[in-house]
Structure 1
Amino acid sequence: MSTTPAARSGRDHRLSPDRRPSSLLAVLDAVDSAPGAAALRARSYDLLGVAAGTRLLDVGCGGGLAVAEASALGAFATGVDRDEEMIAAARERHPGHAFAVAEASALPYEDGAWDAYRADKLLHELPDPGAALAEARRVLAPGGRAVLTGQDWDTFVLDAEDGALTRRIVHARADLVTGPRVARRFRGLLLDHGFEEVEVEVSTAVLTDARRLPLAAGLAESAVRTGAVTPEEAEAWTADQTARAAGDRFFLAVPVFTASGTRAP
């Protein structure tokens, strides 16, 4: 079930013209279907105490999967995303559920309107994650719970022949992200913005299937675009990864951090 607490009017939530929601949605779908992803989402609902009647806000909801799953647990769940086309896709995929266009730093809800706040794979996209956490505290009722989930983009772990080149490729890709290391700041952000009982967990997605090779190739392509590596270096590195995948020796591990906290009175 879904519903939306009383909204505050007068805020315009326009989108950047360079957003590509269809391709981003495909990426999110791939991540949501990766090994361990369903268990990680379930863990977030557990940490939030989702039960019948819980008022849950999923910020940066993407295609709306978490809203549907939380609603199936009995929550009154709403998803928000700054991307109008993403919200349109969520409404199409999950009819009957509540979705709205909104910025994480300017949520159109009254103070204390929610019991649970969830932000998954979001804060690394924000230029000011602190503003989002301040807004999270505002819209949560005292004693409400917040859960943040995301990866640290500097900690892709790949088995490769050339370790130094691998580090350059990983760091170059990380530097394309607005906040590549924000996940290691989750605990501090929650503490700094009025949350207590803050805890952090880490789970690691281990990918060995050859079908994950495009993820590695994409890292190398990004590094070429930034000038961090030459096309020749990227080609040699990708060839090594391709050979590993062909011989069932591909290895990519991605640590994912989950931080939870309770809104202080």
Structure 2
Amino acid sequence: MSSLIAVLDAVETQPWAVELRARSYALLGDLAGRTVVDAGCGGGRAVAELAGRGARAVGVDFDPEMIAVARERWPDGEFHVGDAGELPLGTGSVSGYRADKVLHTLDDPARAVAEAHRVLAPGGRAVLLGQDWDTFVIDSDEPETTRRLVHAKADSLPSPRVARRYRNLLLDAGFTDPVVEVHTGVFTDDTALGVLHRITDEKSWLAEQAERARTNRLFVAVPIFVVAAQR
């Protein structure tokens, strides 16, 4: 868990990641004085930032250890252990719903999107963000090995290609007026090594990437798909 938190912290503080979170908040609309839920809130950073924008922000995560970290870091925040497919919230009780890098971890992401529709009040907005695990772009002297490792990691996840389905999932759940954007996270320093270690433990391939980081030749790009729609 500590290694995952360290990777999340390193990624979340990248300038492009800060800008992307801000964009996701803007896509939710004016939430001042309203309730917004961050499903799969992890360490709680987005919940704290949303609260700083005047929202009543509620974080929900399936992992009790993540919720413990969130409560320790943001003691004024509201956090609950819960399932994205069965949120501890009343029907129509929130004005905004956000799920960032969450749906790929679920066996049934459609259930989570239907749950977003349930908890949102009419006129509320949902924003889904995340990477398609087949679309990592990594410069390497071993392109065939890189393709194999990226696809193997993707195939180990419950829903690795769900990001390309965000728009259709929202439409299928009854949402309207979807807005689709693609942003790209680019790593050219050793921050990427933590991400790459979560893709594979193949030592020779990681050694090449570490050497690229040492010589300022590292390049990793991750397209992030963002889709917002209205309840």
Q: Which residue of 2 aligns with 1:58?
A: 38
Asked if 1:88 corresponds to 2:30, the answer is no
Say which SS state the counterpart of residue 219 (structure 1) adopts. Answer: coil
Q: Which residue of 2 aligns with 1:197?
A: 177
Distance in 2 between residues matched to 1:145 and 1:206, nearest whole Å: 28
- Whether the 8 Å CA contact 1:124–1:178 is kept in 2: the answer is yes
Encode CA deviations 1:102-129: one digit per residue, 9 max, x unaligned: 1111112211000000001110110000
Q: CA 1:63/1:219 → structure 2, altered by over 3 Å: closer, same or farther? A: closer
- Whether the 8 Å CA contact 2:67–2:79 is kept in 1: the answer is yes
CA RMSD of aligned residues (A): 1.6
Q: Which residue of 2 aligns with 1:243?
A: 211
Larger CA deviation: 77-86 vs 39-48:
77-86
Q: Which residue of 1 aligns with 2:51?
A: 71
Distance in 2 between residues matched to 1:261 and 1:207, nearest whole Å: 29
Structure 2, unmatched stretches of 5+, are none
Q: Which residue of 1 aligns with 2:151?
A: 171
Say which SS state the counterpart of residue 199 (structure 2) adopts. Answer: helix
Cα distance, 1:160 vs structure 2: 1.3
Q: Which residue of 1 aligns with 2:95?
A: 115
Distance in 2 between residues matched to 1:212 and 1:63, nearest whole Å: 19
Q: CA 1:216/1:86 → structure 2, altered by over 3 Å: closer, same or farther? A: closer
Equivalent runs, 1:6-21 vs 2, <5 Å: 21=1
91, 105, 109: which one aligns with 1:125: 105
Distance in 1 between residues matched to 2:76 and 2:193, nearest whole Å: 37
Equivalent runs, 1:143-154 vs 2, <5 Å: 143-154=123-134
1:171 maps to a residue whose letter is H
1:169 maps to a residue whose letter is L
2:110 maps to a residue whose letter is G
Structure 1, unmatched stretches of 5+, are 1-20, 225-233
- Whether the 8 Å CA contact 2:179–2:229 is kept in 1: the answer is yes
57, 80, 83: which one aligns with 1:100: 80
Cα distance, 1:214 vs structure 2: 4.3
Encode CA deviations 1:180-221: one digit per residue, 9 max, x unaligned: 111111011001001011111111111111343343355341
Asked if 1:253 corresponds to 2:216, the answer is no
- Whether the 8 Å CA contact 1:35–1:205 is kept in 2: the answer is no
